[in-house]
Amino acid sequence: MRARRAWRLTCLLLALVAVPALGDRTLPPYEPASGLVGSLGSAGSDTLANLMSLWARAFGAYHPAVTVEVQAAGSATAPPALAEGTAELGPMSRAMSGREVDAFRERFGYPPTAVPVAVDAVAVFVHQDNPLRALSLAELDAVFSITRRCGTPRRFTHWGDLGLGGSWRRRPVVAYGRNTASGTHSYFRSEVLCEGDFHPLVNELPGSASVVQAVGASPGAIGYSSLGYQSAGVRPLAISDGAGPAVAPTAENAGSGRYPLARYLYTYVNRPPGRPLAVLEREFFRFIYSREGQRLVLQDGYVPLPAALIAEQREALGL
Amino acid sequence: MSRLAGIRVDRRRRWVDRATSALVGAAGVGVLGTILLMLLYLFWEVTPLLQPAAISYSHSEAAGDGALLPGGRGPDPASPALLAGLETAGLLARPAGPSVRLAGGRAVLVATGDGELLEFGRTSAAPDRPWALFRRLDSGGLPVRWLVAEPQRAVVFALAADGRLQAWHTAAERRLFATRLPRAAGAEAVAVAADGTAFAVRVGETVHHYRVRNPHPEVSFTSLWASAWHPDYPAPARVWQSSPAGAGDEPKLNLAPLALGTFKAALYSMLFAAPLGVLAAVYTAYFMARPLRRVVKPGIELMEAVPTVVLGFIAGLWLAPRVEHALAGVLAAPLVLVAGVVAVGALWSSLPGRWRRRVPLGYRPLLMLPVVALLAWASVAASPLIETACFGGDVSGWLEREFGIAYQQRNALVVGMAMGFAVLPTVFSITEDAIFSVPRGLSDGSLALGATRWQTLTGVVLPTASPGIFSALMIGLGRAIGETMIVLMATGNTPILDVDPFTGLRSLSANIAMEAPESIVGSTHFRVLFLAALLLFAFTFVINTLAELVRQRLRYRYAAG
């Protein structure tokens, strides 16, 4: 209970500090266009599920005749949905892979357009009773991977291997993560495992919230998920990239790029080159890039985009 | 007049009869047809995996200055230092011919003088770990002059000086084709396209182009079922890793851990559901008072109405941490329950007869309810005591020391309980019906001849009902094999290859549910998922067929009457 209150307080403080610092004031407020009718479909990232629904609800309030449907099974479901035309928006928590872009290009003759919509930190959570405070990327690789491509000589299976003593020394590390459809899964794989393979004993759960819940229910557990899913019972670890000191996963550190596992969250759209976006998509992105839209990003525990990037994107999308 | 009306009614009735039977027939044929169509569709999506690869001549052109194929890959031999190192390590004894780097340099294929292709790979990314011989491929004595590999897939083209060509997929240990390539004798340079659809050789001043059709080279019996050594893995293994990350990494699509996981989940749930379901059904149908039975039977059948996704959710988030917490008590519970119930039974029968007669025979299980609840609670509550007394205070540590099992919170035991709960109503209901429908005359006759109720049960009722009991178990097993949501939610979906109760699993059905939405339509991964679906279909089909055969046999032997 106390942990939750402390977390809320941190959030509030951060919001107070971060909102002016991140240029919320400089963003223009949203001016809704009138007379929009139709529906928008979104299929993809589970990390972005909450944020997408928040945006969809707020957008729907401005435009009562527009319905936005949000499906969120994992980032890897976005490219097929865009290619098959079953959704107009493809939220992804990672950039599309070469193969996915190729498959799209084969169908339409041009690549899909990536639109960054928020900044996120992938946090590594442990149970709240766990005394561990920080880990390096190489140590994480030794816990989560079978190939250990980052060069750690052996696999870490017990908390003693990670430097804990006492009753923790002999306790096995039980690792949790996302399933392969998740963009967080592939992001973790390329950033932490040096593109290696996950160990088969790493539990793969079909949702970010389930990962956090599973870690909170098991004292010996460690798991990774988007920072936005933090809840009571778990604590995020500070991460060091080997060279510098360990950095705590806060909105500030993610926004400044000091936290090693910070990343952009994207929404992909199908836009033929040289042609403007479809009316509804255009309006949706206008909303996302407005003061109101980016405020929802903050509300959901993520970090708003830098103002310069937003200006650049508005230009590129012709908003 | 009345006769005419009668005929009219008859005619109408006949039409109604005809329409009804046509409708019923159409529905039946429709269902069968749909199943057949589904099966055909599954086959349709899987068959491209079996298509043989082929190469055919396309065209020739004068050699230019640039690469043979724009964006393609030419020979990329291993460094002499690496080959020397392999020779020093004693891995490579014979004189090495041409070689090619695979999987982004994490493995290398070397042709020996006598026509063998040897693949070596590193066993870890750590610098001091040695390389190992991954596999040897027998080219049948092909004197290899050129070796080229596709950049993305482990497809290797081995060309001899006389134009004989073999293509191999190394990890699948599959020879894709062996042919004599027209106009390729005396090739001076070779290249393969990045996507593997074109091959080119230069002879003198002419470049000959060939078309390659080879969409699914990575699927073979070996790659789907046998263990294989992959780069950076410490040992050969059966691996399911469907989405490769690094350049040159391939999806590892071994179905063995998934098939084993399916059976593992089904086995543990049947361990839970079969004894409970059958014994409960025997008691309910044969001993229980009729009014009580009218409440108990629908009550248990109602359990089936709980959505499996809810069961999985509860098992994963509520049950799994509690089982881990009180593991010793949960393991002791079956023993405590059986011993306790027998002891209470003995106590009961030593009570004076007039006390016992107060409760009629069919209602006595109600007395047992508080006993069972108390015993279950006691064994869980005594868990810390049991742990200290028998396992040195730490069950999971003890398991690891004694058996080398790392306890996973989301394990087969938890899945067995949750899925057992889902399967139990099916087993119970069918068994109960089978026992209850044993003709009254049979058991009455047996009792009249002086047999006790127990003798009648084991000697007459159970054998007569055995076909039904058997099919109840088989239908339960079939359901457990196809069950998806419980396994998906309650396990960690770890594709491992063991049958320990305290480790996790990944089943075929859960795997399809998780990976089907992300797979690229038409890719090998997509088709292998269809193969998994076909496999599930086959499992259920075989089990049901066997069940029906055995049931017919039993019914014939114990035919009532």
Q: Which chain B residues have a beta carbon less than 8 Å from that of A90?
A: none
Using CA atoms, how far apart are residues B88 and B540, in angstroms rounded to an integer? 53
- How far apart are the CA of B150 and the nearest CA of chain A, in angstroms? 15
Residues contacting residue A274 through CB under 8 Å, at least 6 positions apart: none
The letter for the amino acid at B535 is: L
Residue of A nearest to B126 (CA): A151
pLDDT of A62 > 70? The answer is: yes
Residue of B nearest to A149 (CA): B125
Question: Between chains, do B125 and A204 touch, taking CB under 8 Å as contact?
Answer: no
Please check whether residue B481 is in contact with residue B540, taking contact to mean a CB–CB distance below 8 angstroms. Answer: yes
The letter for the amino acid at A176 is: Y
Instruction: Please report the residues numbered 381 through 410 in chain B whose beta carbons come closer than 8 angstroms to any beta carbon of chain A.
Output: 396-397, 400, 406-410
Instruction: Please report the residues numbered 95 through 154 in chain B whose beta carbons come closer than 8 angstroms to any beta carbon of chain A.
Output: 124-128
DSSP per-residue letters across B190-235: EEE-TTSSEEEEEETTEEEEEEEE-S-TT-SHHHHHS-B--TT-SS
pLDDT of residue A12: 44
Q: Are strands A238-240 and A134-136 parallel, antiparallel or unpaired?
A: parallel
Q: Which chain B residues have a beta carbon less than 8 Å from that of A204?
A: 492-494, 506, 514
Q: Which residue has the higher pLDDT, B395 or B302?
A: B302
Q: Which chain A residues have a beta carbon less than 8 Å from that of B247?
A: 195
Nearest CA-CA partner of B179 in B362, B55, B363:
B55
Q: Are strands A234-236 and A113-127 parallel, antiparallel or unpaired?
A: antiparallel
pTM of structure: 0.85
- What is the rounded average pLDDT of the residues A130-143? 93
pLDDT of residue B194: 87
Angle, vertex CA B121, rays to CA B119 and CA B124, nearest 5: 165
Q: Which chain B residues have a beta carbon less than 8 Å from that of A181?
A: 514-515, 517-518
Question: Between chains, do B518 and A221 touch, taking CB under 8 Å as contact?
Answer: no
Q: Are strands A66-72 and A38-44 parallel, antiparallel or unpaired?
A: parallel
Question: Between chains, do A179 and B242 touch, taking CB under 8 Å as contact?
Answer: no
Q: In sequence order, what E strands does chain A have?
A: 38-44, 66-72, 89-92, 113-127, 134-136, 174-178, 203-205, 221-226, 234-236, 238-240, 262-269
Least confident of A221-225, B62-66, B290-294, B377-381: B62-66
Q: Per-residue pLDDT tens for B383-409?
A: 888 888 888 777 888 888 888 888 888
| End-to-end alpha carbon distance in chain B | 51
Please give the structure tokens belonging to residue A84: 């098959």
Which residue has 């015993």 as its token pair?
A: B375
Instruction: Please report the residues numbered 517 through 556 in chain B whose beta carbons come closer than 8 angstroms to any beta carbon of chain A.
Output: 517-521
pLDDT of residue A14: 45
Residue of A nearest to B395 (CA): A171
Please give the structure tokens belonging to residue B93: 């004894």
Question: Between chains, do A201 and B496 touch, taking CB under 8 Å as contact?
Answer: yes
Q: Which chain B residues have a beta carbon less than 8 Å from that of A99?
A: 520
Question: Which among B125, B515, B520 has CB closest to A103?
Answer: B520
pLDDT of B507 > 80? The answer is: yes
Identify from B511, B512, B514 which residue to disrupt to test chain A contact, counting A C-beta atoms within 10 A and taking the largest count: B514
Question: Between chains, do B493 and A205 touch, taking CB under 8 Å as contact?
Answer: yes
Please check whether residue B168 is in contact with residue B161, taking contact to mean a CB–CB distance below 8 angstroms. Answer: no
- What is the rounded average pLDDT of the residues A130-157? 90
CB of B494 less than 8 A from some CB of A? yes
The letter for the amino acid at B226 is: A
User: What ipTM does this complex have?
Assistant: 0.85
The letter for the amino acid at A127 is: H
Q: Which residue has the higher pLDDT, A28 or A91?
A: A91
The letter for the amino acid at B108 is: V
- What is the rounded average pLDDT of the residues A188-201? 90
Nearest CA-CA partner of A288 in A263, A317, A250:
A317
Distances (CA, A) of B288 to B123, B277, B291, B345, B554: 64, 15, 9, 16, 26
Question: What are the residue ranges of helices labelled H in B350-411?
Answer: 353-356, 364-381, 383-390, 395-403
DSSP per-residue letters across B247-300: TT---EE--HHHHHHHHHHHHHHHHHHHHHHHHHHHHHHHTS-HHHHHHHHHHH
Residues contacting residue B54 through CB under 8 Å, at least 6 positions apart: B177, B212, B213, B214
Can you tell me whether residue A141 is helix, strand or coil?
A: helix
Question: Between chains, do A100 and B520 touch, taking CB under 8 Å as contact?
Answer: yes
What does the mean pLDDT of chain A come to?
86
Question: Between chains, do B124 and A197 touch, taking CB under 8 Å as contact?
Answer: no
Please check whether residue A43 is in contact with residue A86, taking contact to mean a CB–CB distance below 8 angstroms. Answer: yes
Helix axes B327-349, B364-381, angle to 10 degrees: 150
Q: Per-residue pLDDT tens for B407-438?
A: 888 999 999 999 999 999 999 999 999 999 99
Using CA atoms, how far apart are residues B138 and B115, in angstroms rounded to an integer? 7
Residue of A nearest to B245 (CA): A195
CB of A214 less than 8 A from some CB of B? yes
Question: Which among A186, A200, A214 has CB closest to B243?
Answer: A186
pLDDT of residue A17: 43
Can you tell me whether residue B65 is helix, strand or coil?
A: coil
Question: Using 50, 70 and 90 to split pLDDT, how confident is the model at B2?
Answer: low
Question: Between chains, do A181 and B257 touch, taking CB under 8 Å as contact?
Answer: no
Question: Which among A80, A195, A203 has CB closest to B492?
Answer: A203
Beta bridge partners of A221: A174
pLDDT of A20 > 50? The answer is: no
Question: Between chains, do A217 and B504 touch, taking CB under 8 Å as contact?
Answer: no
Question: Between chains, do B408 and A77 touch, taking CB under 8 Å as contact?
Answer: no
Q: Which chain A residues have a beta carbon less than 8 Å from that of B400?
A: 172
Q: Which chain A residues have a beta carbon less than 8 Å from that of B521?
A: 80, 84
Please give the structure tokens belonging to residue A101: 């872009």
pLDDT of residue B8: 77
Residues contacting residue B87 through CB under 8 Å, at least 6 positions apart: B93, B96
Please give the structure tokens belonging to residue B344: 């209470």
pLDDT of residue B548: 87
Least confident of A59-63, B8-12, B188-192: B8-12
Question: Between chains, do B245 and A203 touch, taking CB under 8 Å as contact?
Answer: no
Please check whether residue B204 is in contact with residue B61, taking contact to mean a CB–CB distance below 8 angstroms. Answer: no
Question: Between chains, do A218 and B521 touch, taking CB under 8 Å as contact?
Answer: no
Residue of B nearest to A74 (CA): B518
pLDDT of residue B559: 67
Q: Per-residue pLDDT tens for A112-121?
A: 999 999 998 8
Q: Which chain A residues have a beta carbon less than 8 Å from that of B493?
A: 179, 203-206
Instruction: Please report the residues numbered 168 through 197 in chain A whose beta carbons come closer than 8 angstroms to any beta carbon of chain B.
Output: 170, 172, 174, 176, 179-181, 186, 189-190, 193-197
What does the mean pLDDT of chain B come to?
89
pLDDT of residue B247: 66
Q: Per-residue pLDDT tens for B38-90?
A: 999 999 999 999 889 999 999 999 888 777 888 888 899 988 888 888 888 88
pLDDT of residue A18: 45
Q: Per-residue pLDDT tens for A205-230?
A: 988 889 999 999 988 999 999 888 88
pLDDT of A9 > 70? The answer is: no
Provide the b/e sequence for B117-154 (b: ≥16 CB within 10 Å): bbbbbbbbbeeeeebbebbebebeebebbbbbbbbbbb
Q: Per-residue pLDDT tens for B112-162?
A: 878 889 999 988 877 666 889 999 999 888 999 999 999 888 899 999 999
CB of A98 less than 8 A from some CB of B? no
pLDDT of B254 > 90? The answer is: yes
CB of B249 less than 8 A from some CB of A? yes
Residues contacting residue B403 through CB under 8 Å, at least 6 positions apart: B500
| End-to-end alpha carbon distance in chain A | 44
Q: Are strands A203-205 and A174-178 parallel, antiparallel or unpaired?
A: parallel
